[in-house]
Structure 1
Amino acid sequence: MEVDEVVCLPRLSRVAVCGGTHGNELSGVYLVRELLKARKEAMEKKKEEEEEEEPASVLMVLSNPRATQHCRRYVDADLNRCFTHATLNGPVSDMAPYEMVRARELNTLLGPKGSGEAVDLVCDLHNTTANMGLCLIAYSDCDWICLHIFRHLQRQMPDVPMRFIHFDVSRKESYSLDSVGKHGFAMEIGPQPHGVVRSNIYTAMKDGVQHMLDWIHSFNSGTTFEGGFVDVFTMVKHIDYPRDGQTHDITAAIHPELQDRDFCLLHPEDALFQTFSGETLRYKGIEPLFPFFVNECAYYEKGIALSLARKRHVMIPAVRVQTEAEQQTDEQGFASEEE
């Protein structure tokens, strides 16, 4: 692909910003509440004025209100694992977990997943206890919309450590809320303890969302964004804590030399864990990889002490919004294929 090639993409007319998918990750909860409050005040102020057409419709959603009310990650099941087609479309009983029911409600509101009626972009807000800075997490390493938004945030927020994480699900289905949209990503920011809001983390999230919406406004208005390169961290594997063979209890913690060093290259034989008796356990991988989600609190129950990724330099093309004529041509071509 030539660097100067311009890819024309459909307008991003409907965007969803979701917070509280995990009810104890409070930056997203308070930001969505603040955005809803600001929108209400703006609407009241302008209700008697003639408003200009909005470049994009932005829907703010508190994803898991019941878990948020109790300041818990979830009530019955992890909502952010409930967006597979099987869960969304299979039979459901009166005894179904709350999050399964809520996932179907969100799919109706934002989707249906995989359909032409789905919102154009879902940005799902999350916090991590790991020292990861601001990360965009997506299922594709060639979604030019998501990658350009990431590149824009990097330029607008140079003082915030920022990475793009790619979860390769080529052999299985995506399961998180952001997969409902035509484009989507999680905006993950840390470190922040669950059940706590830190002003610096909240502010970074607020700025990130605003810069994302500014980019969408510029894109929809016809701006051409130049191509270039971004670093993409593709997840390779998860590593669990050492465990007792009989009780399955963990027997070690993240080693002090690794703790808080997310995205610092981990080499074979580097210190990985420190047992509770004081022994150092070393990384036995065959290649250096980048650790992230190091000692994430919520992942103890999932059997994940950290994840490992490879870093790649990915070229992204220049992009601009399709003109109406180009969109009509695409639609006619699609209709011809169906016939």
Structure 2
Amino acid sequence: MANRAKKSQMERVSVPPLSSVAICGGTHGNELTGLYIVREMQKKKIEKVGSVSITTIVTNPRASEAGRRYIEMDLNRCFTDVLLSSPITESTPYELRRAQELNAQLGPKGSTDAVDLLIDLHNTTANMGLCLIFYTLDWITLHIYKYIQNKMSSVPVRVIQLEVPISDAYALDSVGKRGFAIEVGPQPNGVLRADIFNMVKEAVDLTLEWLQEFNSGHTFEGGTVEAYTLVKSVDYPRDSAGKITAAIHQDLQDNDFKLLRSGDPIFLTFAGETLKYEGEDLYPYFVNECAYYEKKIAFHLAMKKTYSFPSICAKKDGETA
């Protein structure tokens, strides 16, 4: 994508229309926004919007019913090529079985049979606003991001890029030909907030709106976007037994995407000592995310990059370029 993105913004690119979209919620069973959006769409029997067929899925029904993130293992870490091709035995965890079911239904991953666009809806306890998370910065998804960002003025809209080979991409959205997660917070686990629900619903509606315009022949002009690219993860300070010895410092708490400079406080030990950041200036996100305690992550750090993309329109029948 890096080389492709350098094409002139004046060049227009034609891409086949997108006819199938999957909207998924409940991949983590205690993140309620996506779960309730999917249930509402199913209740209203929303299966087609204009030229786009829509599949709505509660991805982890057992965890959703139990109100837990997962039952045996994190479903959103089960979609690598290795795990999707692993043999199923009596001891295979429920989530891995479910991942292979979803891959068969929405993929298979990397195939021409996969859905054109897969959107997975998540919540975070971190103060991140509305974020789209991509594995690959595709022109279609960049245009969708820019469209949402331009239309939603009430909340910060950002993009996070994970530079991981698609074969190693572990999240559900990697199963589609294109895909992204929508991550919105702050929202506590097991809680539904009206403002967060409405943010995500608006982002989903705007995505479907963009697809309708694109498929109907509208040309979207090229431009540039900023994306946060993961550099590294930072764990909490720990003692010799592996126990956490500090909390996120109050100056960092709730300041996701605020530039972190060397010397800025990041942790406050339980003994009252302030621990400061040492390193290059980077942007923190997923700060103090509840679900990442078990993953030994206090926050991620990213650099900000600017990407250019060309004008785009749907390829017409018989068109070769």
Under a length normalisation based on structure 1, what TM-score does the superposition of the two structures give? 0.91
Q: Give the match for residue 264 of structure 1.
A: 258
> Structure 1: how far apart are the matches of 2:297 and 2:167?
19
Report the equivalent of 1:193. Answer: 188
> Which residue identity is paired with 2:11?
E
1:1-339 counterparts in 2 under 5 A? 1-39=7-45, 54-141=50-137, 143-170=138-165, 173-245=168-240, 247-285=241-279, 287-326=280-319, 329=320
Deviation at 1:172, TM superposition (A): 6.7
Q: Which has the larger radius of gyration?
A: 1
Q: Which moved more, 1:146-155 or 1:170-179?
A: 170-179
Q: Cα deviations across residues 161-193 of structure 1 (Å, max 9, x unaligned)?
A: 110000011497111100000000000000000
Distance in 1 (CA, whole Å) between partners of 2:304 and 2:282 is 8
Name the SS of the counterpart of 1:267 in structure 2: coil
The question of whether the paired residues in 1 share the 8 Å contact of 2:81 and 2:167 is answered with: no
Map of 1:337 onto structure 2:
none
SS of the counterpart of 1:23? coil
Deviation at 1:149, TM superposition (A): 0.6
Decide whether the 8 Å contact of 2:234 with 2:298 is kept in 1.
yes
Alpha-carbon deviation of 1:4? 1.1
For 1:165 and 1:224, locate their aligned partners in 2 and report how far apart those are by CA, in whole Å. Answer: 25
One-letter code aligned to 1:163: R
Count how many residue pairs are aligned between Structure 1 and Structure 2: 315
- Equivalent residue letter for 1:320: C
Q: Which stretch of structure 1 is more off in the superposition, 57-66 or 167-176?
A: 167-176
Structure whose residues are more often helix by fraction = 1
Which segments of structure 1 move beyond 2 Å, counting only runs of 4 or more? none
Q: What TM-score, normalized to structure 2? A: 0.96
Shift of 1:94: 1.4
Alpha-carbon spacing, 1:172–1:121, altered in 2? closer, same or farther (3 Å)? closer
2:4 is matched with none
Deviation by residue 1:246-296 (Cα, 9 ceiling, x = unmatched) = x201000100000000000000110010001110000011x1100000000
* Separation (CA, whole Å) in 2 of partners of 1:186 and 1:113: 16
Distance 1:53 1:15 in 2: 10
Aligned partners of 1:241 and 1:55: how far apart in 2?
48
Deviation at 1:54, TM superposition (A): 3.5
Equivalent AA in structure 2 for residue 75 of structure 1: I
Query: 2: CA distance between counterparts of 1:179 and 1:53?
Result: 23
On the 8 A contact 2:166/2:174 being kept in 1, the answer is no
Q: Secondary structure at the match of 2:35?
A: helix
The CA distance in 2 between the partners of 1:148 and 1:230, in whole Å, is 9
